[in-house]
Chains A and B, each alone.
Chain A
Amino acid sequence: MTATAPAAPPTRQPHAPVLVVLPALNEAESIGRVVAEVRHHQPGADLLVVDDGSVDRTADVARSAGARVMSLPFNLGVGGAMRAAYRFAFEEGYDCVVQVDADGQHDPSDIARLRTALADADIVVGARFAGVGDYVVRGPRRWAMRLLAATLSRLVGTPLTDPTSGFRMVNGRALSLFAFDFPEEYLGDTVEALVLASRARLRIAQVPVAMRERTTGAPSQNAFRSSAYLVRVVTAIVLAVARRAPIARPGSTVEATAT
């Protein structure tokens, strides 16, 4: 099976073991500051901004702030951007990839805490509602998030308070799964990916983090949207469970963890 999987090239260059990925869509206002902050807190890490078809100067700003920039030819959504990033990270031979939101709602100083937790897990999720921070959500969206959290905790076998959090770190084992098998549909990159990982027998853990106010943009909170969200959550979970379990690629796993 090794022959079919596009394995990492034999001449891999030595790299910083951590790759910080910031999927960004039209985040020119905040990306520069976020990149600078990440570099301040993680001076040894490489930074990859995935410019998901932005129409503003996101790519230029990120590049001049010192990040590597992968520009996608058109918008693929967060899931697609992350899939591209995971594939890239796998091919480049990174051991550890952390996803951070480009809008500045994740605190880069928490990356170190995620890293510590990665010692006993393959995927670490930085979670709100776990005792730190004061992020409040009400109405149908809150029920949806509660239901989602409870269901996912049971499915995965670890308590998860914030399964849709985009602040997560994966190690080489998880990377070798996500590089080839990453659900890119809505909620796929967060919810379905966790189900997928647990079915591939990866260990999942969460670390409580505080989310900051978004510096730009506003979260959607109206009732109709929240109900639609609830429906999509249920659909995503049902599909994630009903789909075939991921195929482990023995060759690729060895490749990724060998370094």
Chain B
Amino acid sequence: MARLTIVTVVVAILAFVLVFELLRRRRLRQKYAFLWVLVAGVTVLLSVFPEALAHASALLGIAVPSNLLFLVSLLILFGVSLQLSIEVGVLEEQTRRLAEEIGALRLRLEEVEWRSRLDPTSDQAADEAPVPTEDDVDGPRRCG
């Protein structure tokens, strides 16, 4: 049992170090780091005091203590992936908004450029929307 304790403690400490290192290199945001540090901490506690796990499972009516461990791990993983899905959705929405804005800005910029080429003396001369012709589309306007 002592050997298993050592293995678990080592794994937990490695997890700690990894999280800390990622934080230090600014690869991981603090809001996510907190969860992983918590998980690593609980792992260390459980490997040092295995009775705590047995006690908790008895309290919840779970016959085999390791099942409680599995249940909790599954719940944590479920929560984390759900959270990530939400974040991805938010990011996608923001990217879409930016793409829409870029489309509109690019259109306005093209028209401003076209207008200033028509009449270099004033930058707000033409009232009507200019209609660029074929030879106006040669500039580098693709971005992806």
Contacts and interface: CB of A to CB of B under 8 A. Distances in A.
Interface of A: 13-15, 46, 50, 59-60, 63-64, 66, 68-74, 76, 80, 83-84, 87-88, 91, 184
B137 interface: yes
Contacts of A64: 133-134, 137
A76 B100 contact: yes
Contact of A73 (B102, B127, B134, B137): B102
Given A13-B127, A68-B129, A80 B100 contact: yes
Contact of A59 (B111, B133, B137, B143): B137
Given A13-B127, A46-B129, A60-B134, A76 B104 contact: no
Nearest to A59: B137
A84 B104 contact: yes
Nearest to B95: A74
Contact of A74 (B99, B107, B133): B99
Interface string B92-133: 000010011011101100010000000000000001010111
B132 A63 contact: yes
B144 A73 contact: yes
Interface of B: 96, 99-100, 102-104, 106-107, 111, 127, 129, 131-134, 136-137, 141-144
A76 B107 CA distance: 17
A103 B46 CA distance: 64
B37 to A, nearest CB: 35
Given A59-B137, A184-B96, A73 B129 contact: no
Contact of B104 (A13, A14, A46, A88): A88
A63 B96 CA distance: 24
Nearest to B130: A68
B89 to A, nearest CB: 11
25 contacts: A13-B127, A15-B129, A59-B141, A63-B133, A64-B134, A66-B131, A68-B107, A68-B131, A70-B104, A70-B106, A71-B141, A72-B100, A72-B102, A72-B103, A73-B102, A73-B143, A76-B96, A76-B99, A76-B100, A80-B96, A84-B100, A84-B103, A87-B100, A88-B104, A88-B107
Contacts of A69: 107
Contacts of B129: 15, 46, 68
A66 B143 CA distance: 22
Contacts of B127: 13-14
A50 B134 contact: no
B85 to A, nearest CB: 15
A188 to B, nearest CB: 12
Nearest to B111: A68
B131 A70 contact: no
Query: Which 6 A-B residue pairs are closest in the complex by CB-CB distance?
Result: A84-B100, A64-B134, A72-B103, A70-B103, A70-B107, A88-B104
B137 A60 contact: yes
B99 A73 contact: yes
Contact of B136 (A46, A63, A68): A63
A13 B108 CA distance: 13
Given A68-B111, A69-B107, 11 more contacts: A15-B129, A59-B137, A59-B141, A63-B133, A64-B133, A68-B107, A71-B106, A72-B102, A72-B103, A73-B144, A84-B104
